[in-house]
A and B are shown apart, each in its own frame.
Chain A
Amino acid sequence: MTGSAPRLEAWQDPAAAPLVAIKGVSKSFDRQAAVSDVSLAIYPGEFFSLLGASGCGKTTLLRLLAGFERPDQGRLLIAGQDVTELPPYQRPVNMMFQSYALFPHLSVADNVGFGLRQEGLPRRDIRVRVAEMLDMVKLGSFAQRKPDQLSGGQRQRVALARSLIKHPKLLLLDEPLAALDRKLREHTQFELVNIQERVGITFIMVTHDQEEAMTMSTRMAVMNEGRIRQIGTPVEIYEFPANRFVAGFIGAVNQFEGRALAQAGDVLQVYAESAGTELRVHVPQAVVAGSPVVVAVRPEKVRLGREPPPGDNRLQGTVEEIAYLGDVSVYHLRVAGGALIEAQLTNHTRGAAPPLTWGDRAWVGWNADDAFALVE
């Protein structure tokens, strides 16, 4: 999704004006903080995801933007306009609900045209625009159906059409794909991105599914307990997590707690007891010797074999578990220091016997550049 040209993205351009500016927003329910002191800038044309477990405050943040909740503190700006006090029906924002919230007593066409009718547009114009919109979501022949006569996927597209028809500056999507089954969900992910590129509207999507957030977004924010833990592109979030929470939340990761020993250039030596040895890890900034450091490495970056693999870090251990997942196999190796290290092997050859089995002695290794250090 990232362009190959060395073009400056909007969020990297200090001159760019954000479409949405969330400034120090807090909201609590019954004295329980749902969103605390969140600040965020989202730029025109972005597909931005709010990712987190249920109850992390992502939906509340979305509802604050839609105007269904009002912040206890902070301001919300959309296209430079302060909308904090505006009711939902006056905001240049539309929302697609998790339940789709299709009006059960209205036909598909009336559902889609509902927003235009509120603007008092002539009936003829409404009909034309509804027909266009339904064609775009490939539901042209379903205009006269009622929502309960549609399949889940069709309902989802009606909800999308209804929320896009007013050409809002910003579309909010609350778990738009959660109700679809897996196959349809994957297909719809791409369709949704295509539609977003075609209509050129900025999307903010709430999701708990990291894969969904990774495939669809230009940038994402990982939330936990009402706070944003990291904002970045999918690559940044996955390869350069800012803290242990983000590292652990997205994908699998091997973590070793240790202490910094010495630093040579941008390679830091860390003694990690659980690894039973010194580890080398790439750290751009200077780290004071003796300070606690967590060394982390993703399983697919770990090489595994009977012979010591090349790399800056090498550990020997015993295979304790093997999980065959089809495309890859996951191995768990117990090393001398006591840590259980996860490594992934791609199954290149069909039906090949696994190179290692339970109880085998084996080596794992990785380069300093492929690991990251979390200093907290």
Chain B
Amino acid sequence: MRRRSAPWLRRFRPGRWVVAAVPLLWLGLFFGLPFFIVVRISLSETVIGLPPYSALLEWIEGGMLSIRLNFANFALLWQDSLYLDAFINSVRVAATATLLCLLLGYPMALGIARARQSLRIPLLLLVILPFWTSFLIRVYAWIGILKGNGLANNVLLWIGWIEQPLPLLHTDFAVHLGIVYGYLPFMVLPLYATLSRMDSSLLEAAADLGCRPSRAFWRVTVPQSRPGILAGSLLVFVPAVGEFVIPDLLGGPDTLMIGKVLWSEFFNNRDWPVAAAVAVALLVLLVAPVLLFERLRERAQPR
């Protein structure tokens, strides 16, 4: 009958109320409300001025309130193949990169989880350490490596695998590489969390029942780590879909990704309503994975 919550808190309503209300208000105002504003502006017209969008509600003469909803921005997203292609390409790139992250991250997490106890924390720290240095600078480092006369091409030329420098930078390859590189820690950490919590006697039981190690891996280890796989994949996939820095710096002019499109609509074309419409569409696309992620997190909390 033990409750995790502290029932005595329930009695001191004022204190309890403040503790919950302050973050709720902050997040509601600065995180929740903006989404409604984004939706609202995605339904207005572009005008020249500041701010560069029309009002949604207007008092017209005679005291009547008129609502002008403008779906033209969304129609544009649908009709102009640029946007649709960018969406499809973003999802494709993010999904491929997520898979690659998983393929590299899983053995890493497994290796750390099975390493000696004293080595685990240092190994884990080594995964996190790059995350603490600037993301932008780490992406920038790849420019130096992938450039036409960069490190990678020089090494390849030197060992004689290639005769001409390969075009590596400003390609889809570079974008995939950048995402895997930037988001790998987000894959390894949740995977490590589930794998290290796994009862090692499960594998012993499987072996005892005649299961070969390779089969035990697929039959026991992988299914047991499913929450970690899912959490890690979502932590990589969702932000990667809307990634801007990596496609901008490593991608080519024909690398269409939706985060970059949104950025250029906003900063280059100064078309706020279309940028907002892109954001709304992206949100709709990501609602399901975000909710899924949230449910995973809630379930991971013992209560």
A interface residues, Cβ below 8 angstroms from B: 29, 34, 55, 57, 59-60, 67-70, 87-88
Q: B8 contacts A88, CB within 8 Å?
A: yes
Contacts of B3 in A (CB 8 A): 29
Candidates A59, A67, A87; contact of B1 at CB < 8 Å: A59
Output the nearest chain A residue to B7 by Cβ-Cβ distance.
A69
Give the bracket for the number of chain B residues in contact with chain A: under 10
Q: B7 contacts A59, CB within 8 Å?
A: no
Q: A60 contacts B1, CB within 8 Å?
A: yes
Contacts of A68 in B (CB 8 A): 6-8
Closest CB in chain A relative to B86 CB, distance in Å: 48
CA distance A55 to B1 in the complex (A): 6
What's the dominant secondary structure at chain B's contact region? loop
CA distance A68 to B12 in the complex (A): 12
Closest CB in chain B relative to A223 CB, distance in Å: 11
Contacts of B2 in A (CB 8 A): 59
Contacts of A67 in B (CB 8 A): 8
Q: A29 contacts B1, CB within 8 Å?
A: yes
Contacts of B7 in A (CB 8 A): 68-70
Closest A-B pairs by Cβ, 9 of them: A34-B1, A60-B1, A69-B7, A68-B8, A59-B1, A68-B7, A55-B1, A88-B8, A87-B8
CA distance A57 to B6 in the complex (A): 18
Closest CB in chain A relative to B15 CB, distance in Å: 12
CA distance A313 to B243 in the complex (A): 87
Residue B11 is within 8 A (CB to CB) of chain A in the complex: yes
CA distance A69 to B3 in the complex (A): 10
Selected A-B contacts with CB under 8 Å, 19 pairs: A29-B1, A29-B3, A34-B1, A55-B1, A57-B1, A59-B1, A59-B2, A60-B1, A67-B8, A68-B6, A68-B7, A68-B8, A69-B7, A70-B7, A70-B11, A87-B8, A87-B11, A87-B12, A88-B8
CA distance A59 to B2 in the complex (A): 8
Output the nearest chain A residue to B2 by Cβ-Cβ distance.
A59
Contacts of A34 in B (CB 8 A): 1
CA distance A69 to B2 in the complex (A): 11
Closest CB in chain B relative to A291 CB, distance in Å: 37
Contacts of B12 in A (CB 8 A): 87
Most A-side CB within 10 Å, residue of B1, B3, B6: B1
Output the nearest chain A residue to B6 by Cβ-Cβ distance.
A68
CA distance A59 to B3 in the complex (A): 11
Closest CB in chain A relative to B7 CB, distance in Å: 5
CA distance A88 to B12 in the complex (A): 12
Closest CB in chain A relative to B12 CB, distance in Å: 8
- Given known contacts A69-B7, A87-B11, A87-B12, what 15 new A-B pairs fall within 8 Å (CB)? A29-B1, A34-B1, A55-B1, A57-B1, A59-B1, A59-B2, A60-B1, A67-B8, A68-B6, A68-B7, A68-B8, A70-B7, A70-B11, A87-B8, A88-B8
Closest CB in chain B relative to A343 CB, distance in Å: 38
Contacts of B8 in A (CB 8 A): 67-68, 87-88
